[in-house]
A and B are shown apart, each in its own frame.
Chain A
Amino acid sequence: MNLCLLFPILIPMTTGIVALFFWNHLRIQRIISILGGAGLFGSGIYLLLCLLDGGIPTVQIGGWPAPFGITLAADPLSVVMVLLTGTVGLAVSVQSLTGIDSRREAFGYYPLLHIMLMGVCGAFLTGDIFNLFVWFEVMLFASFVLLELGGERAQLEGTVKYLALNLVASSLFLSAVGLLYSAAGTLNMAHLAQRIPEIDHQIFPQAMAMLFIVAFGLKAAIFPFFFWLPASYHTPPGPVAAIFAGLLTKVGVYSLIRVFTLFFPGSSDMLLFLAGLTLVSGCLIALVQTHVRRVFSFLLVGHIGYMIMGLGLFTPLALAGAIFYLIHDIVDITALFLISGLIQKIAGTESIDRIRGLYRSHPFLALLFLVPALSLSGIPPFSGFWGKLILIRAGLEAKAYVLVGAGLVAAFLTLWVLSALWSDLFWRPEKPDEAAKADQLPQEERGWKGFGAEVALYGPVAGLALITLLLGIFAEPVYGLCRMAAGHLLDPSAYIGAVLGGNP
């Protein structure tokens, strides 16, 4: 029994439930939320130590041996994802202290946040495909309410779009699971990996692969399915958008990686095609947006393409690059969306045309913006540079020159978009009448002021910016971990052995 596997699920669950008991005591809820975030981060580190210590930890829930019961298993990819969930969860729960208004807090923001984190961790740790569906629904359910919480008109509209698309994705996923079960007779992912090559008609798994691409592609927002994301992610407050952008789309990417390495291994032209189009289209559309967070949303879509590219190439280097990029992207995108929330709070709007000369009043914010922005564009020494370098090199080795071109164009467009955005927001001279008006900006509605509130607002962003810098400077050990994860994905025999044990 490996307890280290259960903590990432139990800690957010307990946090959510205990916070519910203090419905009318916001102060206690906030403390519980911070403790829960820190606990989740700690459990991620503990899980990593478990993995490095004694191989892939597994738990058979209820003591039913695999493949009959539900298995939890943490291969290096899962462990990395849980650790990142902890990091992002902690950052977001700290910023929520001042980033979320008390009206939203009073309607159960903290319990929802932690229940969603539980769903995300469950999805990363489960070894059962139907259980993955259930965790998806846990996560989605909390996210629907989080997105809608506050009830502003734009939020409600955004939620309708988000709900409809996610429910279509869920029912396609469920259909694919049903088809897979009827063909292979099992739901355990490791067992499926053994059984699928033995299916008589190999056209059948291919059809299911397409269903999985659509189902997870909708959630990960890859090329033809991304339109719902920029229509909904800019409506909720900054911290909510940050955790959605940082984590929820990556759950889709993780599931794609898991399914396409275990069930349908091999280089996939379909994925490469979609990756190239995602890269170029996302970053191109970002060029013409006039709303800060919509710019980030389209960049987020574009950069999903890099991970799909690594998965599609399916070489050890490319998969390691995809995982490195996944780590970089979660940290970086979360930081950018948290910053967009800060800008919204400071300027009262996110319309680029109406924000000018923030540098004069908030030089530290300008610096904080610059770090994840440069990292996302792939400027050394930040982490984005190494992620792109590995993937481009893998692409060149696989002679996928068009795709490499798309990757480079996307990186260039990102740099263009973000530098234009930075100079618009921070450096553009203020109009004289606006400079006077800037002194009378609407005061923040939250009562908590002073140094502590500033730390809660800027601290998480600064922390994430520091992580992206450290990931770049100490890229070697991180790359080693990614290489190990890629090795496990390419040769899943260790994973299968750990899950099934002596019961093949």
Chain B
Amino acid sequence: MTFLLAVATGALYAGGFYLMMRRSLFKMIMGVVLMGHAANLLIFTLGGLVRGLPPYIAEGQKHLGEHFADPLPQALILTAIVIGFGVNAFGVVLIRRVHESVKTGDLDEMIETDSPEELLK
């Protein structure tokens, strides 16, 4: 299972970077979304995948047993998902407004902020 998730994480990172390298505004946002998923899945996998073990100290014991489910990575991912959701929602609205204003979805044509004023006229 760990192997499968590792491959999935790698694929998500690769897909995210690939989409961001494309020229399309929409694919760029999709790339950002995929990268966020990749980071979350990475943390999930790194937290250790154990099955059927409790995340608490057994009755009568003072310490955790040798094997236990670590709840912390899941708490981290939950936080990251919430943040990522907000950021992605903002990103989608932003590209809509950009598209309305610039009238193109081609990132290579968005050169206004990088060019001297004379070149644009």
Q: Please list the residues of chain A having a beta carbon within 8 angstroms of any beta carbon in chain B.
A: 130, 133-134, 137, 140-141, 144-145, 148, 151, 153-154, 156-161, 163-164, 167-168, 170-172, 174-175, 177-179, 181-182, 187, 230-232, 234-235, 289-291, 351, 353
A159 to B110, CA, bound (A): 11
Which chain B residues lie closer than 8 Å to A171 at the CB level?
16, 32, 35-36, 38-39
Are A182 and B117 interface neighbours, CB within 8 A?
no
Are B86 and A160 interface neighbours, CB within 8 A?
no
- Residue of B with least CB distance to A140: B87
A274 to B94, CA, bound (A): 33
Which chain A residues lie closer than 8 Å to B114 at the CB level?
230-231
Which chain B residues lie closer than 8 Å to A179 at the CB level?
42, 46
Given contacts A160-B25, A164-B20, A167-B32, contact A178 B97 (CB under 8 A): no
Are B35 and A181 interface neighbours, CB within 8 A?
no
Cross-chain pairs A/B with CB under 8 angstroms, 14 sampled:
A133-B80, A144-B94, A158-B113, A163-B94, A168-B20, A168-B35, A171-B39, A174-B40, A174-B80, A175-B42, A177-B43, A178-B42, A181-B46, A290-B117
Taking the closest CB of chain A, its distance from the CB of B21, in whole angstroms, is 11
Q: Please list the residues of chain B having a beta carbon within 8 angstroms of any beta carbon in chain A.
A: 16, 20, 25, 28, 32, 35-36, 38-40, 42-43, 46-48, 72-73, 76, 79-80, 83, 86-87, 90-91, 94-95, 97-98, 101-102, 107, 110, 112-114, 116-118
Are B73 and A181 interface neighbours, CB within 8 A?
yes
A153 to B25, CA, bound (A): 15
Are B112 and A154 interface neighbours, CB within 8 A?
yes
Given contacts A160-B107, A163-B91, A175-B42, list 13 more A-B pairs with CB under 8 A.
Answer: A130-B79, A144-B87, A145-B90, A148-B94, A156-B94, A156-B97, A159-B98, A160-B28, A167-B91, A171-B16, A174-B80, A289-B116, A291-B116
- Residue of A with least CB distance to B29: A164
Are A137 and B113 interface neighbours, CB within 8 A?
no
Are B39 and A178 interface neighbours, CB within 8 A?
yes
Taking the closest CB of chain B, its distance from the CB of A74, in whole angstroms, is 23
Taking the closest CB of chain B, its distance from the CB of A221, in whole angstroms, is 15
Given contacts A134-B79, A160-B98, A167-B87, contact A153 B117 (CB under 8 A): no
Do most interface residues of chain A lie in helix, strand or loop, or is the interface mixed?
A: helix
Are A235 and B42 interface neighbours, CB within 8 A?
no
Q: From B46, B113, B116, name the one whose CB has the most chain A CB atoms within 10 angstroms.
A: B113
Are A178 and B46 interface neighbours, CB within 8 A?
yes
Given contacts A141-B87, A231-B113, contact A156 B102 (CB under 8 A): yes
Q: From A161, A181, A235, A289, name the one whose CB has the most chain B CB atoms within 10 angstroms.
A: A181
A230 to B114, CA, bound (A): 8
Of the residues B43, B86, B95, contact of A178 by C-beta under 8 Å: B43
A137 to B80, CA, bound (A): 10
Which chain A residues lie closer than 8 Å to B79 at the CB level?
130, 134
Of the residues B76, B83, B113, contact of A235 by C-beta under 8 Å: B113
Which chain A residues lie closer than 8 Å to B91 at the CB level?
163, 167
A177 to B46, CA, bound (A): 11
Which chain A residues lie closer than 8 Å to B38 at the CB level?
171, 175
Are A175 and B39 interface neighbours, CB within 8 A?
yes
Given contacts A171-B35, A175-B42, contact A232 B20 (CB under 8 A): no
Of the residues B25, B28, B47, contact of A182 by C-beta under 8 Å: B47
Are B101 and A164 interface neighbours, CB within 8 A?
no
Given contacts A137-B87, A175-B42, A290-B117, contact A157 B47 (CB under 8 A): no
Are A144 and B32 interface neighbours, CB within 8 A?
no
Taking the closest CB of chain A, its distance from the CB of B52, in whole angstroms, is 21
Which chain B residues lie closer than 8 Å to A163 at the CB level?
90-91, 94
Which chain B residues lie closer than 8 Å to A134 at the CB level?
79, 83
Taking the closest CB of chain A, its distance from the CB of B11, in whole angstroms, is 15
- Residue of A with least CB distance to B44: A178
A145 to B35, CA, bound (A): 22
Of the residues B32, B42, B116, contact of A290 by C-beta under 8 Å: B116
Which chain A residues lie closer than 8 Å to B113 at the CB level?
154, 157-158, 161, 231-232, 234-235
Which chain B residues lie closer than 8 Å to A154 at the CB level?
112-113
- Residue of A with least CB distance to B16: A171
A348 to B112, CA, bound (A): 18
Which chain A residues lie closer than 8 Å to B87 at the CB level?
137, 140-141, 144, 167, 170
Are A137 and B83 interface neighbours, CB within 8 A?
yes
